[in-house]
A and B are shown apart, each in its own frame.
Chain A
Amino acid sequence: MSIRTAQRLLIGTVLLLAAPALAETNFKTWLNQVIVELKTKAKEDADRARVAVSVRSNTNQDEAPSMSANTSSLVDTSSASDLVGVALNLAGLSGSTQSSNEATDTTTTAATVSAYALYSAVQGADPLDPGRYCAPAAQWARSLSITLGYDDQSSDMDGSSPIIAGAKVLLPWLNSRNVCDDEAFEDVTRALIPAAERYANIDMKVADRFYDAYGVAQTKLPSDVRAEVDEKLKQARNRALAADPPDDANVARKIEFLNLLNDPVFFEAYLAALGDQAIPIVVDAVGPQGLDPFIHLDEQAAKAIEEFQEAPQIAFSFLTKQREDGSDDYQGQAILDIGLARRLNLTVNGSYEGSRGGMQSASNGGRVAAQVQFQPLSDDLSGPKTLRLSLGFDGAWKTGGGPTYKGQFKINLPVPRIQALAGLEFPLSVTVANRSELIDETEVVGLVGFTLDTSQVLAGLLGI
Chain B
Amino acid sequence: MAQKTRRVRKIAGGKPKPRRKTTARVSARKGFTARSGPVVAASPVEVTCKPGADKAAVQLRVSRGEKIRYELLFRGAQATFAVVDQHGVVILSNQDPPVAPGRYLKVWPGPGDAVKVPDDLNHVLGLHFIAATAYAWRATRVAANGTALEPLKDCVYERSSQTDNFFDPLRVFTA
Q: Which residues on A are within 8 Å of B, measured CB to CB?
A: 21-22, 24-30, 32-33, 35-36, 48-54, 56, 126, 128-131, 133-135, 179-180, 182, 184-185, 188-189, 192-197, 199-201, 203-204, 207, 225, 228-229, 232, 247-248, 251-252, 254-255, 258-266, 297-298, 301-302, 304-305, 380-382, 461-464
Contacts and interface: CB of A to CB of B under 8 A. Distances in A.
A304 B122 contact: no
Contact of A254 (B3, B57, B133): B57
A28 B167 CA distance: 8
Contacts of B169: 28, 199-200, 203-204
B130 A188 contact: yes
Given A134-B77, A207-B56, A29 B43 contact: yes
Contacts of A228: 10-11, 14
B163 A381 contact: yes
Interface of B: 1, 3, 5-14, 26-27, 29, 38, 40-45, 47, 54-59, 74-78, 80-88, 90, 93-95, 101-102, 118, 120, 122-126, 128, 130-134, 158, 160-163, 165-169, 171, 173, 175
Contacts of B12: 260, 262-263
A238 to B, nearest CB: 15
B57 A53 contact: no
Given A32-B43, A130-B77, A464-B133, A197 B160 contact: no
Contact of B88 (A50, A194, A462): A194
A134 B78 contact: yes
Sorted from nearest, which 5 A-B pairs have the closest CB atoms?
A: A196-B126, A25-B42, A258-B57, A200-B86, A196-B84
Main secondary structure of the interface of A (DSSP, over half): helix
B85 to A, nearest CB: 6
Contacts of B165: 192, 195, 297-298, 301
Given A130-B75, A197-B88, A264-B38, 20 more contacts: A26-B54, A28-B40, A32-B43, A32-B167, A33-B43, A36-B43, A52-B162, A56-B162, A131-B102, A135-B101, A200-B123, A200-B169, A203-B167, A204-B86, A251-B173, A251-B175, A258-B56, A265-B8, A266-B11, A297-B165
B88 A381 contact: no
A225 B11 contact: yes
A200 B1 contact: no
A128 B133 CA distance: 10
Contact of B101 (A126, A131, A207): A131
A305 B162 CA distance: 10
A404 B58 CA distance: 74
Given A194-B88, A302-B163, A255 B77 contact: no
A133 B13 CA distance: 41
